[in-house]
Amino acid sequence: MSNEFKNQVKEQFGKAADGYVRDQGFAQGADLVEAAKLLQPTNDDILLDVACGGGHTALYFAPMVRSVVASDLTMQMLKKAQEYISDEGNVDNVTFREADAEDLPFPSGSFTVLTCRIAPHHFSDVPRALREFHRVLRRQGGRMVIIDTLLPEDPEIAEFCQTMEKMRDPTHVRAYTRREWTEMVENAGFKVIETKVFHKTHDFDSWARRAGLRGDAIKNLVQYFIKAPAKVHDYFQIETFAGEVESYTDRKILIYATRLDKK
């Protein structure tokens, strides 16, 4: 990840930190329930939450494990996450660390569990980040859940997805298909045990404003949604009323994988 791009990410999420922390869509969800079911965390586990954002995933798992390290590239986001966990959670086993997902500042084998939720589409080099995830997980018992936006297989729908994400947030790099995710995770030295797909409905206005959009930028994004082809409207279940977009539904992929030793 270039320094210029990292600085852009820090600026974007520093400004948007409050919105992400307060958004209850991150604090709960079927994806978190399924992640816990698959990871089966115990009080012997040491968990790293990469790109922790508002701290919701770290807080969700904290009561289930021995300790959690919540890491993020953006210091302002980390501060907001720390405030959120201090205010909302009755836990004292979460520590915070500024960290680049593609160059994690932790010794090899430091963690038994790793989570990374709704963040990799901002990484400029996902394969490098996955190699780092593999490195910091223990050889025995190391396991991981990644949750992120799923790129549609249909090229036209995928192009719409990529464009609208970038219109909303210029630090969006790209989403990936299920096949691409499986290949990248396996190439990093993991065994993919299971993948699942979840639908997530977004209130359009709060989704756009959380990323900092205002005025003409929101109007342009609204028009991009409204003028999209019918199959895009069908895929994203775009709901409109009186010339405005009320909501849309995208899909999130969950990848559960365990660490393998590279030969």
Amino acid letter, 37: K
CA distance linking residue 195 with residue 112, whole number of Å: 20
Per-residue model confidence as pLDDT tens digits over 204-262: 999 999 888 999 999 999 999 999 999 999 999 999 999 999 999 999 999 999 997 65
Per-residue model confidence as pLDDT tens digits over 146-183: 999 999 999 999 999 999 999 999 999 999 999 999 99
CB 48 within 8 A of CB 72: no
Q: Is 82 helix (H, G, I), strand (E, B) or coil?
A: helix
pLDDT of the residue at 14: 45
CA distance linking residue 63 with residue 68, whole number of Å: 9
Neighbouring C-beta atoms of residue 261, cutoff 10 Å? 9
pTM: 0.91
CA distance linking residue 204 with residue 238, whole number of Å: 9
pLDDT of the residue at 18: 58
Residue-range domains of the chain with CATH: 3-151+171-200+251-259 (3.40.50.150)
Beta strand extents in 86-241 (DSSP E only)? 94-98, 113-117, 143-149, 190-203, 239-241
- Mode of pairing for the β-strands spanning 190-203 and 244-259: antiparallel
Per-residue model confidence as pLDDT tens digits over 100-120: 999 999 999 999 999 999 999
CA distance linking residue 17 with residue 22, whole number of Å: 9
Residue 25's pLDDT band (cuts 50, 70, 90): low
What is the token pair recorded at 10? 């820090």
Average pLDDT, integer, range 89-108? 95
